[in-house]
Amino acid sequence: MNRAYLCVYVAIAFFSCAAFWGLKASRAGTVIIKAAGIAINADGTRAFVTDNGDHQHRVIQCSMDPHSGSFSHCDDTGGSGLVDGFSDDDISTIRLNAEGTRAFVMGRVSFVRCAVDPATGAFSDCGSMGTAGVGMATDMVFKKDQTRVLITDALNRKVMQCGINPATGRFFLCMDAGLIRHDVAKSKITGIALDPAWTYALIADPVAHEMIRCRVDSHAAPDTPMLSDCKPTAFSGARTPSSVVFNAKGTRVFITDFLAGRVIQCAVHPVTNVFSGCTDTGANGLFYPAHIVLDARGTHAFLIDARRSSVVQCSVHSLTGTFSNCGDATKPINPVVLGSLSRI
């Protein structure tokens, strides 16, 4: 197998390819060693980072300045049952519900849900949710009313859909969401995002070099696939798209181009949803950007760099989508240092 594609298969799925550098926190508190995934709460005051450093499986929560995007006072979230749920599995993606009161943490084959104290970020009442029928989970996205979830399955090259019990947070009636890949041997589903209206989904496939667009039936019955009419989008400029995120208005989309070490941004037409003006955001110093999230205001982007296993934070221009002041989220911004590093 080509070495580049081996990196795509392993690093994007586990967000830990060639993790030679840990994330060295310059603030007092817990040090993030091997970052794998990230979630930001709704008001942009707290970040949650999954960490597999030193053979541990944990989630670190950090206070966050909503204006600068910088982290401080990082601590282990704790949570009885969290570590047990990942005893033989690395933690990768983390997602929060809209209220920030529940976290869903994914590994390759494990799902754990925890209650979250919004005031402190501490986890409690963590419990395993099984596999939800997913072979290798890489991303998930919630329906606006928090009653459904779509989960990308890199191993089986598909998207699963599950109902969510609002009282317990448990998944139920998990099934194939309807994504059909005609040449599945040359496919690997790693990221998903929904427009704010939940009318269509964008799905990242770095092995097929495609961004896939699917119609979403948000009113489909629980036993009916939600995705249909899945087709590659027009050219976005990303050759190995690994993750994707919309801004809050759905007028702009950001796509990590994993092997190219860059982030592409495109304007999205409000009626036709067609991409236009796709350009490099100008994020400097990235090696292998595996995953991207935005804060609620869309003024800061946070990326997991799989080469360093670090969190990179960039300011986002509200009109052009370009990035600036990219640096380690746990340190004062120093774009010169990051920009001077060469990709190995």
Q: Give the domain range for residue 277.
A: 3-339
pLDDT digits (tens, 9 = 90+) for 61-71: 999 988 888 89
Give the residue among 95, 74, 93 at the shortest CA–CA distance from 26: 74
In the prediction, which pLDDT does 23 show?
A: 39
Residue 336, pLDDT score: 30
Question: What's the CA gap between 234 and 5, in Å, rounded?
Answer: 23
> For 103-146, what is each residue's pLDDT tens digit?
999 887 778 889 999 999 999 988 887 777 888 888 999 988 88
- DSSP assignment of 116-152 equals E-TTT--EEEEEE---TT-SSEEEEEE-TTSSEEEEE
| Maximum C-alpha span of the chain | 52
The kind and range of the H/E element at 325 are: strand 323-328
pLDDT at 25: 38
| Cβ contacts of 334 within 8 Å, gap of 6 or more | 327, 328
Q: Please name the helix (run of DSSP H) or strand (run of DSSP E) that holds residue 335, with its range, or none.
A: helix 335-339
3-state secondary structure 143-203: CCCCCEEEEEECCCCEEEEEEECCCCCCEEEEEECCCCCCCHHHCCCCEEEECCCCCEEEE
The pLDDT value given to residue 149: 92
Question: Which single residue is written with the structure tokens 């919309």?
Answer: 246
Give the CATH number of the domain where residue 161 resides.
Answer: 2.130.10.10
- State residue 265's pLDDT score: 95
CA nearest to 205, candidates 173, 168, 180: 180
Q: Is residue 167 part of a domain?
A: yes
**Tally of domains within the chain:** 1
Segments in the chain below pLDDT 50: 1, 4-28, 332-344
Q: Burial level of 319, CB count in 10 A (0-12/13-18/19+)?
A: exposed
pLDDT of residue 331: 61
Please indicate, yes or no, if residue 163 is contained in any of the structural domains: yes
DSSP 11: I
Residue 284 to residue 338: CA distance in whole angstroms: 7
pTM above 0.75, yes or no: yes
Query: What local confidence, expressed as pLDDT, does residue 14 receive?
Result: 41
Q: Rounding to the nearest 10 degrees, give the CA dihedral for residues 238, 239, 241, 247.
A: 0
Show Cβ contacts of residue 81 under 8 Å, excluding neighbours closer than 6 positions. Answer: 112, 114, 125, 126, 127, 128
Q: What is the pLDDT of residue 334?
A: 37
Answer yes or no: is 22 within a domain: yes
Count of alpha carbons within 13 angstroms of residue 224, beta-carbon side: 8
The closest alpha carbon to 5, from 333, 292, 258, 248, belongs to 258
The values of phi and psi at residue 11, to 5°, are -70, -40
Query: Does residue 270 belong to any structural domain of this protein?
Result: yes
Cβ neighbours, 10 Å, residue 28: 10
Q: So what's the pLDDT on residue 328?
A: 85
56 occurs within a structural domain: yes
pLDDT of residue 21: 35
Q: Determine the distance from the C-alpha atom of residue 156 to the mean position of all C-alpha atoms in its chain, rounded to a whole number.
A: 19
Tell me how far apart the alpha carbons of residues 71 and 25 are, in angstroms, rounded to a whole number: 9
Tokens of 135: 């072979």
Q: What integer pLDDT is reported at residue 83 of this predicted model?
A: 63
Q: Is residue 344 part of a domain?
A: no
Distances (CA, A) of 289 to 149, 155, 161, 197, 334: 24, 20, 26, 27, 18
Predicted pLDDT at 137: 85
Burial (CB count within 10 angstroms: exposed 0-12, middle 13-18, buried 19+), residue 124: middle
